[in-house]
Structure 1
Amino acid sequence: MGEFMLKQSVNKVWYGIFTSFAALGIRHGISTRLGGHSTAPFHSLNLGLHTGDDAEAVWNNRQLFCQAVGLAPDKVVTAEQIHGVVVEQVTVADAGRGAKHYHEAIKGTDALITNVPGLPLMLFFADCVPVLIVDPVAKAVGISHAGWKGTVGKIAQKTVLAMQQQFNTNPADCLVGIGPSIGPCCYEVDEVVINKLKVNFDNWEELVEPHSNHWRLNLWEANRHQLREIGVPDNTITVCDVCTACNTEIFFSHRAEAGRTGRIGAIIAL
């Protein structure tokens, strides 16, 4: 199993990597909030164009992050994330969609897959779970945005299955990185969420802990379980175990910062 570690690039941007991905030469990264141009409450490396931050500052931040990871910012493909379970295949024709302008992002989508070398996929997060997927055999990558709705709808599982359909991916070959998000220590949910969880997870009781009149939900384990369910080996899934709500000095947290905050980005390319 790999590890998740933070590193600082020469341009002073801090970001995280999965060592199992790095060992294969997969260019990827999960940004922090450190090393950018945005001012409060988005300080400083806000990568979300839909937050109310200055668009030019966000574009400068995206360029810094891509430079740190070693990918071309003008080629980045992003999505209009709506907390759904739609997975879209990205081709050369999509290069640059949403990179600089939010309205150009792929509509109504929360997961992207591609087998095009050098084509970066990037999604944005502030407590929701980044799920990065690598198939080193069929040569394909994917990325999912898994908030509670996406997690309950098994978007990570659907992303791997879409890779299987489009690229002949064998789930047993996949490496997965589950990035920083709100942890079971802080993610309190109500009966509405629990009732939806029960529909898709036979082991739902293992994913929650009663807390007062609510429950604390483990999004990390829910995503790991749905991947194991389709044959992704447990020992190829790395969970970074970093809670964004507990670490607002490093990451953005929608819940801990009362909805007024920036977005980290997760990026991956072959």
Structure 2
Amino acid sequence: MNTFERSGKHLAIQSWQKLNSKLFSGFTTREGGNSTMAFHSMNMGFHVNDDPDKVRKNRKLFSEDIGFPVENWIGSKQVHAENIVKVSKEDRGSGSLDFDTAIPDTDGLYTSDENILLTSLYADCVPLYFYAPNDNLIGLAHAGWKGTVAKIGPAMINIWQEKESVDVKSILAAIGPSIGHCCYEVDDRVINEVKVALDGDTVDTVYKKNAAGNYQLNLKKLNEILLLRAGVLPENIIVSDQCTSCQNDVFFSHRKDKGKTGRMMSYIGRKGD
């Protein structure tokens, strides 16, 4: 079921925002920005050789759209690993208007502070969202296949349990738009890592061999299974049905665009009084 609903030119996790009107969470599209050519038009990434001034304009445009000042955003330099950092108000502005100031070597961010917008960048990888309403914790994780098999999703759950004393049964998780199994072909090297992540179990819904002898991998399903094994309740996980490669008019896709493309942004933040 698609739970990322249209809100203007971006997508929002409306069910979460109904729980808390001060919570803003969702995913940008490629629509409505200033970038040109391969980055047309709402590219949010500084690291893809787009004109940085256009990226800044895109970010400021989106900040006005959701009413969250770009100076309050926090971003990271993603490395396809399982590193997770807790951030605070003192980190606001990191990576918001340039790439150099982003939190280094980090694919997961979380906070308990208000008036911070956590951000992460995508062009096929899986965006993971976390919300603990009873503990006022929010988080994001970037899960490409490497981060997924490194279990970055369960790592966030474990940190919240061990360091923040959160009851796992209260944690809400969302799996955002990403490349679908329909378009994501991988080889034995990747599938062997997937099998390790699944503790050797064979799960038909995660990967299937195709006619070419490779595999169609369902990264969303793999992340969902790993979150369930980490203790998140099934009714607390929502999953987007949108494929970034199939819907190339709406999303940037690294595979569809043959490596030269822009980036969408996942985001989550809580506004204060």
Determine if the TM-score, normalized by the shorter chain, exceeds 0.5: yes
Which one of the candidate residues 171, 175, 179 is aligned to 1:174?
A: 171
Provide the rounded CA distance (Å) in 1 between the counterparts of 2:168 and 2:15. 16
Q: CA deviation at 1:19?
A: 2.1
Q: TM-score, normalised by structure 2?
A: 0.94
Query: Structure 2 counterpart of 1:205, which letter?
Result: V
The alignment partner of 2:231 has SS state of coil
Whether 1:54 aligns to 2:51 is yes
Residue 130 of structure 1: CA displacement?
0.5
Q: CA deviation at 1:103?
A: 0.8
Q: Which amino acid aligns with 2:203?
A: E
Distance 1:141 1:201 in 2: 26
The residue that corresponds to 1:18 in the other structure is: 13
Provide the rounded CA distance (Å) in 1 between the counterparts of 2:144 and 2:265: 14
C-alpha contact 1:115 1:167 (8 A) present in aligned 2: no
Q: State the Cα deviation string for residues 190-231 of structure 1 (Å, max 9, x = none).
A: 011011111120334331011121001111111111111121
Corresponding pairs, count? 265
How far apart are the structure 1 equivalents of 2:127 and 2:179? 11
Give unpaired runs (5+ residues) of structure 1: 9-13
Considering only aligned residues, what root-mean-square deviation do their CA atoms show, in Å? Answer: 1.3
Conserved? CA contact 1:112–1:142, under 8 Å: yes
Contact 1:197 1:204 (8 Å CA) reproduced: no
Looking at structure 1, the residues matched to 56 and 151 of structure 2 have their Cα atoms a distance apart, in angstroms, of: 31
| Distance in 1, Cα, partners of 2:87 & 2:236 | 24
Shift of 1:166: 3.0
Alignment map for 1:101-250 (pairs within 5 Å): 101-202=98-199, 203-206=201-204, 207-211=206-210, 212-250=212-250
Residue 25 of structure 2: aligned partner = 28
The answer to whether the aligner puts 1:88 opposite 2:85 as a matched pair is yes
| Misfit runs of 4+, over 6 Å | none
- Report the Cα distance in structure 2 between the residues aligned to 1:204 and 1:110, rounded to whole angstroms: 27
CA deviation profile, 1:28-82 (whole Å, cap 9, x unmatched): 2200000000001100000000000000100111111222222111110000001
Q: Residue type of the partner of 1:163? A: W
TM-score, normalisation: structure 1: 0.95
The verdict on how the C-alpha distance between 1:135 and 1:112 changes in structure 2, with shifts beyond 3 A counting, is same
Provide Cα deviations, 1:92-129, integer angstroms capped at 9, x if missing partner: 21111010110100100000010001111000000000
1:266 aligns with 2:266: yes
Quick check: 1:125–1:263 contact (8 Å CA) kept in 2? yes
- CA distance, structure 2, for counterparts of residue 101 and residue 19 of structure 1: 29
Distance 1:166 1:75 in 2: 25
